[in-house]
Amino acid sequence: MIAYLLPMLGVWLLLTVLYLWMVMPRMWNRPGKEPFMGVLYAHRGLFDHSAGIPENSLAAFRRAVDAGYGIELDVQLTADGVPVVFHDGTLARMARGESTKEKGSAAERPKEGASSSDVPETPEVSGRVLDYTLKELQQFHLQDSEEKIPTFEEVLNLVDGRVPLIVELKAETLDFSLCEKVDALLREYGKKGIYCIESFQPLYVCWFRFRHPEVFRGQLSTSFQDPASQIGARIFHFFVKHLLCNFLTRPDFIAYNYRCRNNLSRRLCRAWFHATSVAWTIRSEKDLEDNRAYFDLFIFDSFLPKGGPHG
C-alpha cells in the first residue's frame, strides 16, 4: 500500500509545485505600488451616457481628472497604426455615422409629412476600429454626442499627469506594434505622470516584462462564463482564467472580475505572493464596500462613490 501511495504523493507534490510556479507573480524587484494606492479608478473615464458624456471620450476623461479620480482606459490600433482609445471589438455599440439630416442634400432630407423618427439620426457604424484609418474614424461620433474617438496621445495630453492611469492593451489581434507604440507614448508621458499597463493577452504583458521591466504591469482575467466555440479559444480562456500564464508574464498585479473573486489562483496571488489585486468593474456602493477585504484597487462605473476619489 505504501509503495503505491508514495509515487502518487510524489506526483501530487510535483504538480502542486508546478502549479504554484506557473501562477506566481513577480516576486523580486517589483516597482512600488504606492503611487497607485488610495484612489478609485473611473472605468473608461467618468462617463454618463444619459448626460451625453460617452465612455472613453475626452469629456469623460476631463470629468474624471477634474474630480480627482484615477482612470482606466482601453487602447487599440487603427488601420494606419494609430493608437486610439476605444473598448469594444466592433464599432456598432458606441460609434455613430453622420446623421441623414446633417448631410443636407434635398434627396437625403425627409419627405414632407414624414416624422423625424422615420429618419435615422445617427446610424450605427459597422466593422472594427482596425478596419478604419484615423481620418475615417474621425467622421464618427460616440453615440449621440459630439465626442469623437480620441487618440491615445490626445488623452495623455488632456490628463497631463494629474491622475494615475491604468492602460489596457486590447487584444483584438496579436500585434506587438501596439505595445511598441503605446510604450513610446507612455515613456514620454512617464516624465510627468504615473501609469501602469494591463491586458487579457499574456503575450502583451510578457512584452513589457522583457522590454521594460520597470513598468508596473498586470494580468487581466475573469471566469469567461460564455463558452468559446473554438478549441484554441477555450484553452486560452482556461489558462487566463486560472492565471497559468503568469510564468510568462510575472505580473505585479492581477485585475480580476470582482464577481469571480473566489478564483483559487487569484486568491493565492494576493494571499501567498502578495501581488496587488484590482477589482473590475464595481457598479454600486454596496459592491465597493463588500469587496474591500478582497482587493486593493477598484475600477468603477455607473455611480459616484460616497467617499469621493479617495473613498
- Does residue 16 form part of some domain? no
How far lies 64's CA from each of 73, 177, 292, in Å?
12, 29, 22
- Does residue 238 form part of some domain? yes
- Does residue 22 form part of some domain? no
d(CA 140, CA 270): 42
Per residue of the chain (311 residues), give pLDDT as tens: 677 777 778 788 999 999 999 999 999 999 999 999 999 999 999 999 999 999 999 999 999 999 999 999 999 999 999 999 999 999 999 999 975 334 443 333 344 444 334 444 568 899 999 999 999 999 999 999 999 999 999 999 999 999 999 999 998 889 999 999 999 999 999 999 999 999 999 999 999 999 999 999 999 999 997 776 789 899 999 999 999 999 999 999 999 999 999 999 999 999 999 999 999 999 999 999 999 999 999 999 999 999 999 98
* Nine-digit cell string for 264: 483559487
What pLDDT score was predicted for residue 292? 98
User: HSE-up of 9 (CA within 13 Å, CB side)?
Assistant: 6
- Does residue 192 form part of some domain? yes
- Does residue 158 form part of some domain? yes
In degrees to the nearest 10, what's the CA dihedral of 73, 150, 46, 171? -20
What pLDDT score was predicted for residue 189? 97
CATH number of residue 232's parent domain: 3.20.20.190
What pLDDT score was predicted for residue 101? 36
Closest CA to 262 of 281, 245, 242, 248: 242
- Does residue 43 form part of some domain? yes
Please state the domain count of the chain.
Answer: 1
What pLDDT score was predicted for residue 5? 75
Long-range contacts, stretch 116-122, CB < 8 angstroms, 24+ apart = 122/96, 122/97
Long-range contacts, stretch 205-208, CB < 8 angstroms, 24+ apart = 205/248, 205/249, 205/251, 206/248, 206/249, 207/176, 207/179, 208/179, 208/183
d(CA 10, CA 165): 45
Structural domain including 283 reads 30-91+150-306
- Does residue 133 form part of some domain? no
Strand partners, 298: 279
Q: Computed over its alpha carbons, how large is the radius of gyration of the chain?
A: 22
Question: pTM for the complete prediction?
Answer: 0.90
What pLDDT score was predicted for residue 311? 86
- Does residue 125 form part of some domain? no
How far lies 257's CA from each of 214, 215, 223, 253, 261, in Å?
26, 23, 8, 13, 7
